[in-house]
Chains A and B, each alone.
Chain A
């Protein structure tokens, strides 16, 4: 009797862990962009969540309007094409945003770029709602990966969909690749130099503008990939997805120590788990799962603003 009750509980718990990990790796992918941009120009790029949203719509537009049906319904063609398309669209928007909204404010007081970021966020969201056909409501998004799921036989069974596994693997691979890029390549070194001291980097022959554009481009591309994977996993997208997930991603980036790539991944996973487990076990249920994330955000910002992997206590003015 006792054991029979225990196993479903365990399987629920494990299912929620799995959900949390999938969501967490998605958030991690978005958080990478946040953390890189903040690391380099200390700007909270509020509009980054919208880049993620735009990427999802870019992928969907490619599938719906550009690819012939035969290709769009064959996953091994559709998946890479949609991912690349989403990444490119998101990257272009991110670069344009940097060029026209943020660059003119590079030396302005701190408040100005933050408010600009809010404006860009609202404008992107609304532009999508107004100009993308049918975007006033949630749009269905096809599953771009193999249907079906792995079922781990514990209790009622712990179901992990293949597309979820794809999401986890892709985000870990991309984060790993990004870290290698930043640590090992010339451009990566230029990025690190720029983030440490832009003026000295310029004296060393680095063009900070190019490095900053590169940062936005990479962050945007990752967000675009995340957008397409999100659609593929949840099977529908809407224009509000950017704001919510953007805030989660920012929380993750802060949690892991902003500017730190590994930290963003760990932070993302923790946030995913908090949402999944908080929605399951904390009072209020799923209606309050967002609240727990914000509570975590406040606690982290107040008591450990440098995050898990932050180097030192830096006073942020």
Chain B
């Protein structure tokens, strides 16, 4: 076993405390005491977790995790967000104190940001819900400085870590015996499964059932985000992904099995199975869109129409009473037909790519999408049901056996909807497989070449026209598949599900996750379709926040959560950074097409 940690020593000046930017002075002043600051910040976070957070019982009932009224008496009974703060704070102290750990400033910064956001979310929520600052400071003889102390702690941690200078991510090159790595991967994937189940179910269903569902969920997300950032900074995530890359087939199989085990976790109720299935539909669609946008670089603003076409085709072939075509075909056949029909429309929508490029193409696709919605709304050819939709689509099944039934295996009772969940997991896996193979194929390389520079690609002998249309065709086919599933799962297909906003949401999912990557599309779709489920209290502000989030993502992290390597290089152009920081300094190099 070789344990060679090789922290790359890059020639960037940022490695030493010569700070630039808005907080340069503050960071320079803090630099000599960065370790002390990190530890102090960690301690403050810890203390904050144990202080009372609320001065009185809120209108909606006591704030979760006993964060109300009294100084916390039971030091080992911390749960929920206070436990997350304790863990983040302790981890920050330990990592800051161990000078041998490579990239410790970067790790601690991740932890500090996590703690800051957790404190901020809970503090803000209490302030907003509980009637102003009185709820979190001092009122009627009780004091509650928990959130403020934890917030300051988090900020001090971040300050100390940033002042110490952020190192490059270390690269670990451990290799273990294959069976140890296999066991490690299985354990890690099971942990991921449990985390996914915890995130999905955290705070419950939201709305009336649990008034604090939204904040519990957001807070958990922030804590996990901080931990994730810290792990990433330590280089361990990169190492794990390298390990799973070494055992590619094994990882894929384990991941698939783990995904199929979700019904056995706390998420194994009918409600969460439905949520998970819906996420699956949008994840599959987002992967299809990822081919068009992420690989081939063709912006499609009407993509959800293909999901709609697939769904309407399936609805018409399902034997539903409202469908015009009174035939009932087996589901597998329906899926194939939906997919093919959607693919045909994809080729039609894609054909203008022969002449139109860039944002003009985006507008053409938007126009096609709008034409689809308008036609569906007007019940074109009697195929879409118009405003009445096509209701009562029968469940997938053979004879008496229906996919919507619950499953009993011995003493194990799986909730209804679980079969649909299995089906969509397999579907998403298939779509992923298609995507991964395409990406690494001759065709995928041609798409990427077209994305990078169409003229150069064409000069290299790539027949750009048919290949671009093929991107639309394949993307649409995948969406059509998802649409067929969607029709049967939800049992109702209405034109309203396929509006422009849905296309934008799908696009946002692809961009948020990271264009051109599979985990990115799945992650983006999960986030964007779980959030509204969780933030029912905020349903009024949902779209507003969504719009603002789009703007902020484009501003601060255009490469997404899981950036594609090529994309990353493309979007973080050094020239751009210079101009953004120094204002109108040197002339930006602008290349006229």
Residues of A within 8 A of B (CB): 44, 101, 104-116, 118-127, 130, 198-199, 202, 209, 243, 247, 250, 254, 284, 287-288, 290-291, 294-295, 297-298, 301-303, 305, 315-317
User: Chain A at the B interface: mostly helix, strand, loop or mixed?
Assistant: helix
Q: How far is the CB of A240 from chain B (nearest CB, A)?
A: 11
A57 to chain B, nearest CB (A): 15
Contacts of A120 on B, CB cut-off 8 Å?
A: 547, 551
Q: From known contacts A120-B547, A301-B352, infer whether A107 and B579 are also in contact, taking CB-CB under 8 Å.
A: yes
Q: Collect the chain B residues with CB atoms within 8 Å of residue A122's CB.
A: 501, 504, 543-544, 546-547, 550
Q: Please, what's the 1-or-0 string for B536-578, where 1 marks a CB less than 8 Å from any CB in chain A?
A: 0000110110111111001100100000000000110101100
B590 touches A107 (CB 8 A): yes
User: Bound complex: CA of A316 vs CA of B483, how far in Å?
Assistant: 33
With both chains docked as a complex, state the minimum distance between the C-beta of A43 and any C-beta of chain B, in angstroms. Answer: 8
5 nearest A-B residue pairs (beta carbon): A119-B550, A123-B547, A122-B547, A317-B593, A126-B544
Cβ contacts under 8 Å, A315 to chain B: 357, 593
Would you give the shortest CB distance from A294 to chain B, in whole angstroms?
4
Cβ B357 vs Cβ A317 within 8 A: yes
Check if B590 sits within 8 Å of A199, measured CB to CB.
yes
Q: How far is the CA of A277 from the CA of B218 in the complex (A)?
A: 52
Which A residues lie within 8 Å of B370 (CB)? 247, 290-291, 294
Which of the residues A106, A243, A305 comes within 8 Å of B360, measured between beta carbons? A305
Q: Shortest beta-carbon distance, A125 to chain B, in Å?
A: 8
Shortest beta-carbon distance, B47 to chain A, in Å?
37
Can you report 19 A-B residue pairs in the complex whose CB atoms are below 8 A from each other? A105-B555, A107-B579, A107-B580, A112-B554, A116-B554, A118-B301, A118-B547, A123-B544, A126-B547, A130-B544, A250-B363, A294-B367, A297-B363, A297-B364, A302-B355, A303-B355, A305-B355, A317-B358, A317-B593
The answer to whether B554 touches A115, judged by C-beta atoms less than 8 angstroms apart, is: yes
Q: Which residues of B contact A317 (CB under 8 A)?
A: 357-358, 454, 593
Chain B residues in 8 Å Cβ range of A116: 550-551, 554-555
Which residues on B sit within 8 Å (CB–CB) of A121?
A: 547
Give min CB distance, B469 to chain A, whole Å.
14
**A104 pairs with B580, CB closer than 8 A:** yes
How far in angstroms is the closest Cβ of chain B from A93?
A: 14
With A120-B547, A122-B550, A126-B544 known, 7 other A-B pairs at CB within 8 A are: A106-B579, A107-B588, A120-B551, A126-B546, A243-B500, A288-B378, A291-B370
Q: Which residues of B lie under 8 Å from residue A119 when comparing CB positions?
A: 546-551, 554
A130→B371 CA distance, assembly (Å): 29
Q: Could you tell me the distance between the alpha carbons of A209 and B584 in the complex, rounded to whole angstroms?
A: 9
**B315 is an interface residue with CB less than 8 A from chain A:** no
State whether the Cβ of B375 lies closer than 8 Å to any Cβ in chain A: yes
Complex: how many Å from CA A202 to CA B586? 11
The complex places the Cα of A111 from the Cα of B553 at a distance, in Å, of: 12
Closest B residue by C-beta to A50? B547
Partner of B575, one of A101, A107, A294: A107
Q: With A and B bound together, what is the CA distance between A301 and B321 in angstroms? A: 41
Please tell me if the beta carbons of A301 and B363 are within 8 angstroms of each other in the complex: yes
With both chains docked as a complex, state the minimum distance between the C-beta of B223 and any C-beta of chain A, in angstroms: 27
Residue B374 at the A interface, CB < 8 A?
Answer: yes
A107 to B363, CA, bound (A): 22
Number of interface residues of B (CB under 8 A): 53
Whole-angstrom CA separation of A188 from B368 in the bound complex: 37
Contact between B547 and A44 (Cβ–Cβ < 8 Å)? no
| Cα A302 to Cα B555 with chains together (Å) | 31
- Docked complex Cα distance between A315 and B363 (Å): 16
Known: A44-B359, A116-B551. A130 touches B580 (CB 8 A): no
Q: Report whether B540 and A287 are in contact in the complex, using a CB–CB cutoff of 8 Å.
A: no
**Nearest-CB residue, chain A, relative to B504:** A118
Q: Is the CB of A202 within 8 A of B584?
A: yes
Residue-wise interface mask of B (488-510) relative to A, using a CB-CB cutoff of 8 A (1 in contact, 0 not) = 00000000000011001001100
What are the residues of chain B within 8 A of A316 when measuring CB–CB?
356-360, 593
Whether B58 is near chain A, meaning CB under 8 Å from some CB there, is: no
Are B584 and A108 in contact, CB atoms less than 8 angstroms apart?
A: no
- List of A residues within 8 angstroms of B575 by Cβ: 107
Question: Which residues from chain A contact B584 at a C-beta distance below 8 Å?
Answer: 202, 209
Q: How far is the CB of B566 from chain A (nearest CB, A)?
A: 13
Alpha-carbon distance between A119 and B501 when the two chains are bound, in angstroms: 10
Q: Is the CB of A198 within 8 A of B359?
A: no
Minimum CB–CB distance for B512 against chain A, Å:
10
A123/B551 in contact, CB under 8 A: yes
Partner of A115 from B358, B374, B507, B540 at Cβ < 8 Å: B507
Taking CB atoms, residues of chain B closer than 8 Å to A113 are 554
Bound: A114/B297 CA distance, A: 14
**B481: interface (CB < 8 Å):** no
Q: B570 to chain A: which residues have CB within 8 Å?
A: 109
Proximity string of chain B (260-295) to chain A, C-beta cutoff 8 Å, 1 when within and 0 when not = 000000000000000000000000000000000000
For residue B362, CB closer than 8 A to chain A, the reply is: yes
Residues of chain B contacted by A243 (CB below 8 angstroms): 500
Residues of B close to A123: CB separation below 8 A:
543-544, 546-548, 550-551
Given contacts A119-B549, A298-B364, A315-B593, contact A130 B541 (CB under 8 A): yes
The answer to whether A290 and B374 touch across the interface, beta carbons within 8 angstroms, is yes
**Which listed residue (A108, A115, A294, A303) contacts B550, Cβ 8 A?**
A115
